[in-house]
Amino acid sequence: MAEKNKVKFGLSNVHVAKMIKGEDGVITYDTPFKIPGAVNLSLDAEGDNEPFYADNIKFFESFANNGYSGELEIAKIPDEFLKEILGQKIDSIGGVLENINDKITPFAFMYQIEGDVTGTRFCYYNATVSRPSTEASTTEDTKTPNTDTLSITTSAREDTGDVRYKLALSDTNKTEYNAFFTTVPEPKDKASV
């Protein structure tokens, strides 16, 4: 599988895994669960560069990696996400209760983007969302589905500083690639720069 992707298209396999921070500061994750109906994802890099000038040139420049922020558009937010991530309660008859005291939980955010050869899988280790807006519209001549949009912000894990992990299928990583959405992926070793 020496050939690499030349283009990318498509969004699928959106998964989230609730972050658990131990008393010792070590971070682990619950088992990922799927968010079906991915429509669109837009994440912009956050962070500034700070140039320092000396000797009439740009002598030094520092960069800040503050993660990413943007929006995920999906067909419908599943109740499991409302409960596990947004902290809402599901009662015995299936009603979902939003309360002023709900606690939003950080999570790992994972998805796949297709390419002309293979898909590439992504994991952001420390994501948070804001409560989604509610929208609805009347049905006219055609039934066009409404979608839900989540505003997502990602940042570095507190324990490792890791922001994002990206994995494209190769001859040497089939096992890890196939298991990508079963647990939050951890790099095998810190890649050299």
Span 20-45, pLDDT tens digits: 998 888 899 999 999 999 999 999 99
Mean pLDDT (whole number) for 139-146 = 81
Q: What is the mean pLDDT of the chain?
A: 90
The reported pTM is: 0.86
Confidence of residue 76 (pLDDT cuts 50, 70, 90): very high
Domain boundaries, the chain: 8-44+66-178
Q: What secondary structure letter does DSSP report for 133?
A: P
Helix, strand or coil for residue 54? strand
User: Could you tell me the CA-to-CA distances from 161 to 47, 122, 156, 189 in Å, in that order?
Assistant: 15, 16, 5, 14
Confidence of residue 190 (pLDDT cuts 50, 70, 90): low
Span 113-129, pLDDT tens digits: 988 778 899 999 999 99
